[in-house]
Amino acid sequence: MCSDDILIEVIAGFGSNFNKRDGWDRSVYPTWKPVLAPYPDSIVWNAYIALVSKPTKFPPNIGDLKRECDLKSKELKVSIDTKRSFCLDCEFNGGAVYTHAGYYRTDKNHKWVQSTRMCSCTCDDSKEYHPGVHTWKERLALLEADPRVDLQVYLHTNRDRQYFTDQEIDPVQYDIDQQKEKDRPTSSKYRKILELMFSENSYLLLQDRQVTKPIEDDQADNDDDTRWQDSYKGYFDNPFDDE
């Protein structure tokens, strides 16, 4: 298994060779650790040397390093065991549990905040595979203990829920958007075009029409512009007959 000493040295080397920003090493450590954990130090180091020695148009990433580790493992005939016994709640996401929190910041005039974070599961393999990352239960406990946070929504993926809907993530904004959709004028020509596109008569939009007036490229197109509808006048299949 890749040791922390080699991992930190490799991450620092990437930062120096590819001009990464300050703090980059701390931000990528939780991600790089589980990816490189199955490989011995010698494989990771040799893969790193091989990768930084190659001319490249774009800076390599952790995926490139993992690919190089696999090549070195085959070349040196080193067996790598990457199997994990993740539980049913996290195996779908490779040992990760995604969380979403919606809360008011009482110290910032009750500003509404939404925050989605990757956490580890509470099973042993997930915590080992994602070191340095809070479990979803630990994140919940931290939010609940923070006096600045007025928690309203907390969601986490599990065996029965692999993603969150827009309504679950932000029910207030979802209701606002739904109401705006209901209040949208039904006579809008754009709405009629969309309805026609998804109807069995969508072929009508593809038929040639003679535009009654020339259309300039720089002329604004809006609901008051009726030239497009006018081009259908006189045809029995005019989709705008009810206007």
Domain ranges of the chain: 4-75, 91-178, 189-230
Half-sphere exposure of 11 (CA within 13 A, CB side): 22
- Could you read off the pLDDT of 22-42 as tens digits, one per residue? 888 888 888 888 888 888 888
Q: Report how far residue 56's alpha carbon sits from residue 7's, in angstroms, rounded to the nearest whole number.
A: 22
| Position 186 pLDDT exceeds 70 | no
In contact, 68 and 50? CB cutoff 8 Å: yes
pLDDT top residue among 38 and 210: 38
- Could you read off the pLDDT of 95-154 as tens digits, one per residue? 889 899 999 999 999 998 888 888 999 998 888 877 778 999 999 999 999 999 999 999
- What predicted TM-score, i.e. pTM, was given to this entire model? 0.47
| Position 196 pLDDT exceeds 50 | yes
CA angle 94, 170, 197 (to 5 degrees): 90
CA angle 189, 192, 198 (to 5 degrees): 145
